[in-house]
Structure 1
Amino acid sequence: MARLHVGCAMWTHKAWPGRFLPQSLPAKERLRAYAGWCNAVEGNTTFYATPARTTVATWAQQTDPDFRFVVKLPKVVTHERRLVGVEAEMRAFLEAVEPLGERAVLWTQLPGSFGPADVDALGRFLRRLPADRRRAVEVRHPGFFTDAGSTALLEGTLTDADTEWLPFDTTVFFQSPPTSEAEQDAWVKKPRLPRRTRALTNRPIVRYLGRDSIEETVEGWRPWTAVVAGWLREGRSPTVFLHTPDNDDAPALARRFHDDVRKLVPGLDPLPEPEPVEPATLF
């Protein structure tokens, strides 16, 4: 049966203890608490360093088999060597994340300079990945979004490798100037690309960036609730990640997005209710 997974860019954040997570938790328990709110998470830390296999094993122990990790490939693979001559690094990475099994999606986030002329290298790289590993690619070169030939070239390469095109939708965020320090920081760092809503596989993945304003964020995701509902009716099982500039409310927003989709697809299973969090005390 089709499932909707929702999540955030991380499973721990300075604003969450006392709201979404208990006040004091050892590191090995934080993911378990987060998994009471969401059933997916982005693995962004793996971009900077490949974790120890023993560490990844604790991630698997803290989550149900249906939980999803979308783990970003190391920076040395995608940005420094641009997918060429990375056999040793990829062997180490695949070995490290193996405990996650089918929970893991391999996320290849490519730099904005990786353009249509580099698609052959991407195709060769994807063909060398283990066939049983789910994979998704995020591109940031404008040509892939604005030139029909480049779009078709990338879609064909990804489809041949049973790989999803992972869009990062920032269109709502860039509709009006920043109004806070967090929005100003995101304004400088986040990519500005057209919205893409076409799925290539039965497990599409979307990253959506809203605003500081909850109302603007919710209003901005309306096109996605319709798209995701359509995917579910087609039998696909999408994963949607909710971002805001500060991510302070991200777990609650992810659950709200799931609720909004359920209004369109009443047969969709609800998320489990999270454990109540004890309020902060003075003593």
Structure 2
Amino acid sequence: MDFGRLSDLRYVDFRLPPDHPETAGVLARARVAQPAPPRVYVGCPIWTNKAWLGSYFPAGIRDSDYLHHYARQFNSIELNTTHYRIPDAPTVRKWRGAVPDTFRFCPKLPQVISHDRQLYNTEALTTSFCRAIEGLGPTLGRAFLQLPPTFGPEHLPRLERYLLDFPDYVPLAVELRHPGWFADRELLSAVSALLEALGKTLVLSDVAGRRDVLHQRLTTPVALVRLNGHGLVASDFRRAEDWAARLAAWLEAGLHEAYVFIHQKDILHSPIWAQHFLHRLHELTGLAVTPPHIIEQPVQGSLF
């Protein structure tokens, strides 16, 4: 994720801001129906991570087996492949068959909907996408609509119309990037209230160069966090601990689900960050989410 990425982190304040004032009310209302236990999902943007061969993946596996082995390390994925094309039914069945029912896919809406047409005249495409990912069955987590930085507040009526028409059988999260959404408190309150009324999750992005998008406003009992890491520097580990503490507090207050997606330039760093985060979250909550781990590789026999 290049959005908000900086090469110089010296002047970035990575501390998490306080919760938005409306977040407490969302959690209090959600607490009545909170599942026991609540669920936490952690993942990466892709599963074809060849750098993991011989460590987190067995050496020598076929390309078609990557998702199966990825799902033994992480329990969710930010499914970016759907951003570039709508998958056909055989592909969705193959994905569904490669993972356990406890796994969750979070497919990104196609860019032709979000970026090319910017939600204009996209009814047929949206229906095709939703029908396709419906085939994921119980492994469908939250689809998410990533709006481009050019999609600003002047398009709020179009966003509202799109969300009102969006099929209700697909859970949806929305990521806003234009600075205008966050520059005006009243506007942010209005769009957040809209998402809350429609049951859509407002995405939280923790990136170095755009601290404004870390608004800490929950609109549903689901938190979806996208985090840009910087090569396991000290601030990455502090942020892992800070997010564990914040999510622990939200889970205690009534949060139903949390999705945390890790973006590191070197994919070898993502499992290490996840281990640190999940260890701290377990210390704080007792929730047991299996962290990624180095697997024992088969040893070839010897003739001597």
Q: Bin the TM-score by the shorter chain.
A: 0.7 to 0.9
Is 1:39 aligned to 2:75, yes or no?
yes
CA distance in 2, matches of 1:280, 1:129: 52
CA distance in 1, matches of 2:224, 2:183: 21
The 5 A counterparts of 1:169-184 are 169-171=206-208, 174=209
- What is the CA distance between 1:213 and its match in structure 2? 2.7
Unaligned runs of 5+ in 2: 1-35
CA distance in 1, matches of 2:277, 2:299: 27
1:218 is aligned to 237
Aligned equivalent of 2:222, options 180, 194, 203: 203
Is 1:229 aligned to 2:267, yes or no?
no
Question: Is the 1:18–1:280 contact (alpha carbons within 8 Å) kept by the matching residues of 2?
Answer: no
CA distance in 2, matches of 1:263, 1:127: 41
Alignment CA distance shift 1:275-1:111 (3 Å)? same
Question: Is the 2:232–2:269 contact (alpha carbons within 8 Å) kept by the matching residues of 1?
Answer: no
Q: CA RMSD in A?
A: 2.2
Higher alpha-carbon Rg: 2
- Partner SS, residue 242 of structure 2: helix
Summarize deviations over 1:186-228 as a string: whole Å, max 9, x none. Answer: xxxxx66442222211121101111113533112333211211
CA distance in 1, matches of 2:296, 2:90: 29
1:167 is aligned to 204
Unaligned runs of 5+ in 1: 175-190
Aligned equivalent of 1:52, options 88, 93, 103: 88
CA distance in 2, matches of 1:277, 1:148: 52
Question: Is the 2:193–2:219 contact (alpha carbons within 8 Å) kept by the matching residues of 1?
Answer: no
TM-score by length of 1: 0.86
Question: Is the 2:240–2:273 contact (alpha carbons within 8 Å) kept by the matching residues of 1?
Answer: no
- What is the CA distance between 1:34 and its match in structure 2? 0.7
1:256 is aligned to 276
1:146 is aligned to 183
CA distance in 2, matches of 1:221, 1:146: 27
Displaced runs of 4+ in structure 1, greater than 6 A? none
Alignment CA distance shift 1:47-1:277 (3 Å)? farther
Aligned equivalent of 2:144, options 104, 107, 124: 107
CA distance in 1, matches of 2:289, 2:81: 29
Alignment CA distance shift 1:88-1:155 (3 Å)? same
CA distance in 2, matches of 1:66, 1:245: 27
Question: Is the 1:207–1:243 contact (alpha carbons within 8 Å) kept by the matching residues of 2?
Answer: yes
- What is the CA distance between 1:7 and its match in structure 2? 0.8
